[in-house]
């Protein structure tokens, strides 16, 4: 697992080290790790370290001190270092003295000359900073043309929520000290590649985590020696309609490709589903579908009385249920449908659907709002986005950064619902199934994007679905060998 810690928890972990170690030790540890990353980045980008140019953007906090100390270390490697002090009277005194002693140059104020750097270090704002960059800092950052390495986190981005409510740094690399923070997943587009430097922190248990690729591969259900089509999990799919038959085709197809179990379809798009996926067993309604281990309900199913009746029938069972799309619209109008439900329930909204369910736009605090909805409704919630947030009712959170926006295409959510439903039917915990499905789904989208940029390449949901099996193979190939 990859663990993420809020700023308060990181500060608490730093406190005993700050009390026990000589003054400045922790900062110099961080600066040394930063220096190594910057030197490696210079080498990979320019072919060397000595003779290269680095500019430091220095604020008044500890991140500015980290940047100054790292600048002094880089100067001793032969790097030409220039520090631009945004608040000269409050710059870290020891770090500034070390840089000057090493021969670094210092400029004062946001109007100062940046030079012609090969790399820029963003040490403007630290963990305690909140809100967007102030106008002078924002104007300075806008003048930067070189790649940026962020010190612990990009300035202007909230460390806990990942929100960037205004001007903020977009880094190519972020060097995190001691522990990853939620920003490193929630605002991955601002952070770029994240490098974690060990400075001796022991932050304790994390309530926000992410699965690694090898963990997803190791948990993915595959047939055992004595399995048959029933023991591997039978998922029921209630999706599609006369108006949106494609939702049924995509959702059922994703369930077929995600696992080796069985898929039962219930709905009015049976003919279209069977024409594409003849292995699916189809019926007209939930009552005639046959026995399943989990249900997926809602994608393209409509919001009329017939759809509402099917939703009530599914939620009336004692089986795990995933509710998506039109099913969420019906739930927003009648939350009592899931109130007091003893069987596991997973809601998979995008931001607009979430706002209808919770009465609040989740953008300002995706983890916090998702946690609250999960706790208030007693369900597991998967909030879609580049960084998918999955919250259990007990407050535990799993994240999945998609590494791009290739999956942002119509029908993509139908594919995700089918994948997660099939994983749930195999016996996986709802949150685990959701996190695993999200990881494979985002990988399939990136594979479908091919050689094009995964942040801009237009793909279809059908193309994404066609890569699900390949994504699963890749994830399973990354399993850690058993001893």
Residue stretches of the annotated binding site for K(+): 63, 122, 155
CB atoms closer than 10 angstroms to residue 264: 23
Q: Which residues are annotated as a binding site?
A: 62-66, 122, 126-132, 152, 155, 247, 300, 350, 384-388, 413-414
The rounded distance, in Å, linking the Cα atoms of 163 and 287 is: 45
The rounded distance, in Å, linking the Cα atoms of 277 and 375 is: 38
Give the torsion sign (CA, 406, 410, 411, 416).
positive
Q: Which residues are annotated as a binding site for (6S)-NADPHX?
A: 62-66, 126-132, 152, 247, 300, 350, 414
Nearest to 87 by CA among 136, 158, 155, 142: 136
* 296, 322 contact by CB (below 8 A): yes
The rounded distance, in Å, linking the Cα atoms of 326 and 106 is: 59
* 255, 273 contact by CB (below 8 A): no
- Tell me the H-state helices in 7-127: 7-20, 25-46, 62-76, 93-101
The rounded distance, in Å, linking the Cα atoms of 165 and 138 is: 13
The rounded distance, in Å, linking the Cα atoms of 320 and 380 is: 11
Q: Which residues are annotated as a binding site for AMP?
A: 384-388, 413
Give CA torsion, residues 301, 302, 307, 310, to 10 deg.
20
Q: What angle do CA 293, 417, 270 make, to 5 degrees?
A: 75
The rounded distance, in Å, linking the Cα atoms of 207 and 366 is: 14
């Amino acid at each position: 697992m990859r663990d993420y810690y809020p700023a308060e928890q990181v500060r608490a972990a730093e406190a005993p080290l700050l009390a026990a170690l000589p003054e400045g030790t922790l900062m110099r540890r961080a600066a040394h790790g930063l220096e190594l990353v910057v030197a490696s980045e210079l080498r990979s980008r320019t072919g060397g370290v000595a003779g290269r140019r680095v500019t430091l953007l220095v604020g008044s906090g500890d991140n500015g001190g980290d940047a100054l100390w790292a600048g002094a270390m880089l100067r001793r490697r032969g790097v030409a270092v220039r520090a631009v002090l945004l608040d000269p009277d409050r710059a870290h005194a020891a770090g500034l003295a070390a840089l000057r002693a090493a021969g670094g140059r210092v400029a004062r104020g946001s109007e100062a000359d940046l030079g012609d750097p090969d790399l820029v270090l963003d040490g403007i704002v630290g963990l305690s900073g909140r809100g967007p960059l102030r106008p002078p800092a924002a104007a300075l950052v806008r003048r930067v043309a070189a790649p940026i390495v962020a010190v612990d986190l990009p300035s202007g981005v909230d460390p806990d929520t990942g929100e960037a409510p205004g001007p903020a740094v977009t880094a190519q690399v972020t060097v995190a000290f001691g522990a990853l923070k939620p920003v490193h997943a929630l605002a991955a587009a601002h952070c770029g590649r994240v490098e974690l430097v060990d400075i001796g922190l022991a932050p304790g248990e994390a309530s926000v985590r992410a699965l690694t690729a090898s963990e997803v591969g190791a948990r993915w259900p595959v047939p055992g020696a004595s399995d048959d089509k029933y023991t591997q999990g039978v998922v029921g799919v209630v999706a599609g309609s006369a108006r949106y038959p494609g939702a049924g085709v995509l959702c059922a197809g994703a369930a077929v490709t995600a696992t080796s179990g069985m898929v039962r379809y219930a709905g009015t798009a049976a003919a279209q589903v069977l024409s594409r996926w003849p292995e699916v067993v189809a019926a007209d309604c939930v009552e005639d579908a046959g026995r399943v281990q989990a249900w997926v309900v809602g994608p393209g199913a409509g919001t009329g009385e017939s759809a509402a009746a099917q939703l009530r029938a599914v939620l009336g069972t004692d089986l795990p249920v995933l509710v998506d799309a039109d099913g969420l619209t019906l739930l927003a109008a009648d939350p009592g449908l899931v109130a007091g439900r003893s069987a596991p329930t997973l809601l998979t909204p995008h931001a607009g659907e979430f706002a209808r369910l919770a009465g609040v736009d989740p953008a300002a605090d995706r983890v916090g709002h998702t946690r609250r909805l999960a706790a208030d409704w007693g369900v597991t919630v998967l909030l879609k986005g580049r960084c998918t947030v999955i919250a259990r009712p007990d407050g535990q959170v799993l994240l999945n950064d998609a590494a791009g926006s290739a999956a942002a295409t119509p029908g993509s959510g139908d594919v995700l619902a089918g994948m997660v439903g099939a994983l749930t039917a195999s016996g996986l915990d709802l949150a685990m199934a959701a996190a695993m499905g999200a990881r494979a789904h985002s990988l399939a989208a990136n594979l479908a994007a091919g050689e094009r940029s995964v942040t801009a390449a237009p793909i279809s949901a059908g193309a994404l679905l066609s890569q699900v099996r390949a994504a699963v193979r890749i994830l399973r190939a990354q399993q850690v060998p058993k001893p």
